[in-house]
Amino acid sequence: MDVVMKAWATVVDCTDCEAFPKCVEKFESASLAWPIFLKYVQKTWIKPHKEKFVNAWTNKVMYMGNTTSNRYVVIYNIYLYVKDCFVC
């Protein structure tokens, strides 16, 4: 089961849209021993929500040099950006 959980973690934490299908394929091959579980995950999570896996899709858009969705990190980086612009 550890292999399945590690494979699922690679799906969730995938940072590249092109690599996402390979991560899913790795998860599917690791889950072959549990076909009901695999079918559930495919129908409930992977197929209907693949665009919502955060790392794979949000890292494509930059805002002031940032690709994070963490509000604190974004605000802090904006502060650093603005601070550097107004240094006398």
Comparing 8 with 61, the larger pLDDT belongs to 8
C-beta separation of 55 from 67 below 8 A? no
Q: How many domains does the chain have?
A: 1
pTM exceeds 0.85, yes or no: no
Q: What is the pLDDT of residues 16-67, one digit of tens each?
A: 778 888 999 999 999 999 999 999 999 998 888 877 775 656 555 555 555 5
Q: Is 45 helix (H, G, I), strand (E, B) or coil?
A: helix
Measure Cα distances from 63 to 6, 46, 56, 69, 88 in Å.
31, 28, 17, 10, 25
Give the domain extent around 50: 2-85
**Which pLDDT score is estimated for 58?**
58
With beta carbons less than 8 A apart as the criterion, state whether 74 and 66 touch: yes
